[in-house]
């Protein structure tokens, strides 16, 4: 057992010495010179010309063309998307005109009994008064004219009276 312990201690000491040596030894980070090509002997084919010098690279040109991109062009922002055209919003149809139920003429005063087309409500009104959103403009013995937002509608007392 003591032999194993001694071997482990010796191994640990060697490992510690190797780590300490690696940590304290400075690294050489200088550039490595490219290998020299052997020059052909004089008189052989192509032996009189010197090897072509490598061109100096412009760092900005290198960075402007991505290395692994197929076209190797400078980055350009993508084109702006086409503006979205929204469909026009259909305006709501105007509310229906009230329905004429009856006309009352008494002592020179004219009144019309109008019914709301959306509810069972009815209302007696005189010329110039408002029923719901409609203003009564004219009442005669056969029809009533109402107006809303510049739109005038003639309401006949009997169906078919507007054609005849």
Quickly name the fold that domain 99-156 has. Answer: SH3 type barrels. (2.30.30)
**CB neighbour list of residue 111: distance below 8 Å, 6 or more residues apart:** 103, 104, 105, 124, 125, 126, 139
β partners of residue 106: 109
Nearest CA to 113 among 149, 146, 151, 67? 146
Does the pLDDT value for residue 164 go beyond 50? Answer: no
- pTM for the whole structure: 0.42
Q: What is the pLDDT of residues 40-76, one digit of tens each?
A: 665 555 555 566 666 676 777 667 666 676 666 666 7
Domain locations in the chain? 99-156
Q: What is the pLDDT of residues 1-25, one digit of tens each?
A: 688 888 889 899 999 988 888 888 8
Cα(2)–Cα(11) distance, rounded to whole angstroms? 14
Q: What is the pLDDT of residues 27-43, one digit of tens each?
A: 777 767 777 776 666 55
């Amino acid at each position: 057992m003591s032999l194993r312990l001694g071997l482990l201690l010796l191994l640990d000491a060697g490992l510690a010495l190797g780590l300490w040596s690696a940590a304290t030894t400075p690294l050489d980070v200088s550039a490595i010179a490219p290998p020299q090509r052997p020059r052909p002997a004089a008189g052989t084919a192509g032996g009189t010309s010197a090897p072509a010098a490598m061109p100096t690279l412009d760092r900005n040109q290198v960075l402007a063309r991505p290395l692994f991109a197929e076209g190797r062009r400078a980055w350009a922002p993508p084109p702006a998307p086409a503006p979205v055209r929204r469909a026009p919003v259909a305006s709501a149809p105007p509310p229906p005109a009230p329905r004429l139920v009856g006309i009352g003429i008494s002592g020179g005063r004219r009144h019309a009994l109008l019914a709301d087309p959306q509810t069972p409500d009815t209302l007696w009104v005189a010329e110039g008064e408002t029923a719901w959103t409609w203003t009564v403009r004219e009442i005669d013995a056969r029809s009533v004219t109402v107006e809303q937002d510049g739109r005038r509608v003639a309401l006949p007392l009997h169906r078919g009276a507007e054609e005849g």
